[in-house]
Amino acid sequence: MRLRKKSNLAPRLEKCSHLFIKNSEDYAAFISGGFSGRPDLRLELGCGKGKFTVETATQNPGIPFIAVEKNLSALIIASERAAERETGNVRFISGEIPQALSIFGDGEADIIYINFCDPWQKKRHADRRLTAPRLLKIYA
């Protein structure tokens, strides 16, 4: 089901801007601040409204979680959910997955979650799936 565009998107995003990773410096600051040693990094690709990420992060406060989503309306709901729960171990990246993953080094993510992604059922759209062979190579 398609998510309607949220009203007041810009001010709502600004209110949660501290939860967004925009570049590799933001990522490095997030990982180095508050996590001892080399923490197990967990990524959720296509997080939608963020329920899984926020719930899992709440249950594992010492583990950093980064969620990637390209739909801003869904992303604002996810970031507001994280801000409401005051989870200090969750950050979000807005954008397409291949570009978002360029922030990370090889083997940096310990676990990658892909839950209920868009199926892109038509054969001509197979390369858009989160489980497309070219993306699976990037994940590996």
Q: What is the pLDDT of residues 110-132, one digit of tens each?
A: 899 988 877 778 888 778 777 78
pLDDT in tens, 7-17: 788 888 889 98
**Cβ–Cβ < 8 Å for 65, 35:** no
- Looking at residue 58, what is its pLDDT? 94
- One DSSP character per residue, 21-41 reads --SHHHHHHHHHSS--SS---
Residues annotated as part of the active site: 118
Domain 9-139 has CATH 3.30.420.40: no
Does the pTM surpass 0.75? The reply is yes
Q: Would the pLDDT of 34 be above 80?
A: no
Average pLDDT, the chain: 86
